[in-house]
Structure 1
Amino acid sequence: MFFGDPGQLVAQIIGMVVCFVYVFGISWVFFALYKRLFGLRVSAETELRGLDIPEMGSLGYNPDAEFYEPPIAVAPSMSGGGD
């Protein structure tokens, strides 16, 4: 690196940039298509209830434990009105 051909370092930097641009582009296209076809997020209600059962099919914690809190209900919309 210090006493070699600087052209090799430039070639490696170019290769790194090309690889990054290629992977970024392919990933962007893939996730854009996936988001359009299937969606990337769960619904707000499912997110608030927790993803243990929808994703894994069972609870990920012991409901009898002292720190257990039941899943919260979805709050009504807060758009509109005021204090």
Structure 2
Amino acid sequence: MRTFEPEELDRIIEMAWEDRTTFEAIHHQFGLSEQEVIELMRQSMKASSFRMWRKRVSGRKTKHQATSSSTRFRAKCHK
């Protein structure tokens, strides 16, 4: 995984916490897979905060573009 500037790292974490931002949107903007986002979150947060985040996003339909009804960050070619 590449090294990110502090501003980029803050934005990735913010996007990962947002309910309507899909992992695909993070991948599109920063080139990180879902697993890489999980690893980044694990390394960047306290253990208790990471567990809370994982519980929150696990199984959440809106974190995956294929199961999300949100059109935020979707390009016309990805419908």
Q: TM-score range by the shorter chain?
A: under 0.3
TM-score of the two chains, using structure 1 as the length reference: 0.22
If asked which structure has higher relative contact order (CA below 8 Å, sep 6+), I would say 2
Q: Which structure would you say has the larger Rg?
A: 1
TM-score of the two chains, using structure 2 as the length reference: 0.23
